[in-house]
Structure 1
Amino acid sequence: MAVSGAKEFEVKAAPADVMAAIAAVDRLPEWSSAHKKVVVESAHPDGRANRVRMNVSVLGINDEQVVDYTWDGDTHMSWTLVESTQQNSQQGSYTLTPKGDGTLVKFELTIDPKIPLPGFMLKKARNMALDTASQGLTKFVDGK
């Protein structure tokens, strides 16, 4: 059973600065406690990550994932799961919109685990991911 979620939040930084933080994929473990190890296996010509292998742990479930990233300047980034030990599919994205002196960030995520999990566990994992995306990214951008 797939579960989806979205969250909008504001960051007090320009979209280019927020996207620079998102593009620092190898630094994900610094602001996302779920990400234990991240290795960029290939990059796009502009230097941003293309294929990334990562070890992730959520609610005690460990997963090795390979994801492919796509980028649209400083306004949009998305990823698609290529391989996983625990998921059938995963898609996520960040969309950035200038707002006053800062940036409105929309984070979207859909995950479909391989093993059946109770709905409350899926929702808890989704909510943890949404909170990490907003709070963790905001702190990481502020600390740059």
Structure 2
Amino acid sequence: MAVSGVKEFEIKADPETVMKAVAAVDRLPEWSSAHKKITIESTHDDGRPHRVRMAVSILGINDEQVVDYTFEGDDKVTWTLVESGQQNQQDGSYVLTPTDGGTKVTFELTIDPKIPLPGFLVKKAQKTALETASKGLTKFVENF
């Protein structure tokens, strides 16, 4: 059963700075406790990551995932799951919108686990990911 969620938050930095932090996927473990190891397997022509392999652990479930990233300037980044031992689907995005005080970030995430898990556990994992994205990314950008 796939679940989707959205989290909006503001970061006191311009969209270009926020996107630079988001694009630094090799540094994900610094602000996301779920990400244990990151390997960038390929990059786009501009040097931003394209295919990324990551070791992830959330709520005691360990997984190795491969995701493909697509960037739309400094406004949007999306990723799609290519391989995973634990998920059928994972699609996510960050949309960055300039504000008077910085950048509004809209984070969307859809996950579909392969193994049947209780709905509350899937929703808890998703909530953890959404909270990590808002709090962890905000703190990371402020110190970037």
Using the size of structure 2 for normalisation, the TM-score is 0.99
Q: Which residue of 2 aligns with 1:56?
A: 56
Separation (CA, whole Å) in 1 of partners of 2:101 and 2:15? 10
Question: 1:118 is aligned with what amino acid?
Answer: P
Instruction: Identify unmatched segments of 5+ residues in structure 1.
Output: none
Separation (CA, whole Å) in 2 of partners of 1:136 and 1:110? 19
Q: Which residue of 1 aligns with 2:77?
A: 77
Separation (CA, whole Å) in 1 of partners of 2:101 and 2:41? 35
Separation (CA, whole Å) in 1 of partners of 2:97 and 2:134? 15
Shift of 1:113: 0.3
User: Would you say 1:18 and 2:36 are equivalent positions?
Assistant: no
Separation (CA, whole Å) in 1 of partners of 2:20 and 2:53? 20
Question: 2:94 is aligned with what amino acid?
Answer: Y
Q: Which residue of 2 aligns with 1:127?
A: 127
Instruction: Identify unmatched segments of 5+ residues in structure 2.
Output: none
Q: CA RMSD in A?
A: 0.4
Shift of 1:101: 2.8
Question: 2:136 is aligned with what amino acid?
Answer: G
Runs ≥4 residues deviating over 2 A: none
Shift of 1:26: 0.2
Question: 2:137 is aligned with what amino acid?
Answer: L
Q: Which residue of 2 aligns with 1:36?
A: 36
Using the size of structure 1 for normalisation, the TM-score is 0.99
Deviations 1:15-57 (A, max 9, x none): 0000000000100000000000000000000000000000000
